Copies of this chain bind each other. A is one copy, B any other.
């Protein structure tokens, strides 16, 4: 059962295989399902990027898409997640993509559901396709991860990707640094070294900005926000001190003028919209991995 739940569960070799497939999809490779193959997207939280990115990936692969949103479903009648997923399996879904507000929602499903689960984000926990698209964007730029210096900047504690990206990048051979407001440091994440943003800026190859999640934060966060941009954001001044060839990543949606100056969102170093494009390719790759029986091998023909 090729679930995709967390980055930790993928071996380095599996990560490299997913990235390789994604690069082939980026070059126009196509696969076709053998018959009508249904995939259900279950989003219990609002999402534009991830939801549509999965939907485009699914449709590019010729899959039939069932879009489920919590508001108009029997979840309102108190149905459990297990029963909802089991229902989708019963009516023919061959894989299910889930975003859910609870950390590790998938632990109650694993071993009980006979179709692969693709985690599209769980609480403050994991967001493996986001990690994979970050990795793909870095790999396209530098060819490999060996010896790269990556700074992850912002709300390390609540971020779905800080943890899994730090771990994956370390395993792939990169050195990871964190820069964060004191209150948002994460004592449990041992895959990076805390340092000052201004010291990191001229040394790093990849600047990975995290989103300030207004919608998850309280009054306490307002104090941090007031001067976040000056203290912890990518200002125009800081960008000028970045190393030649270095790049900027952000999972989006961007708070313009907070994590990054408005003018820099589409600057030469920014790969923010490139990341979104890559999101489609890595999702095609993990769908192909999950549905290998239905989709067969990658076909090296080019898309028209």
Contact = CB atoms under 8 A, between A and B. Distances in A.
Given A90-B273, A90-B276, A255 B78 contact: yes
Residue of A64, A73, A87 with highest tally of chain B CB at under 10 A:
A87
A72 B47 CA distance: 6
Nearest to A43: B72
B83 A253 contact: yes
Contacts of A273: 86-87, 89-90
Contacts of A80: 256
Given A52-B88, A92-B280, A256-B80, A46 B34 contact: no
Given A90-B273, A253-B79, A253-B83, A46 B66 contact: no
Interface in A235-273: 252-256, 273
A175 interface: no
Contact of A252 (B34, B51, B75, B87): B87
Nearest to A90: B276
Interface stretch (A54-62, A118-126, A143-151): A54-62
Given A48-B75, A91-B280, A64 B59 contact: yes
17 contacts: A35-B303, A47-B73, A49-B91, A52-B66, A52-B88, A56-B92, A71-B72, A77-B213, A83-B252, A83-B254, A87-B252, A87-B276, A89-B273, A90-B273, A90-B277, A91-B276, A92-B280
Given A46-B72, A78-B255, 4 more contacts: A36-B60, A43-B72, A77-B214, A77-B253
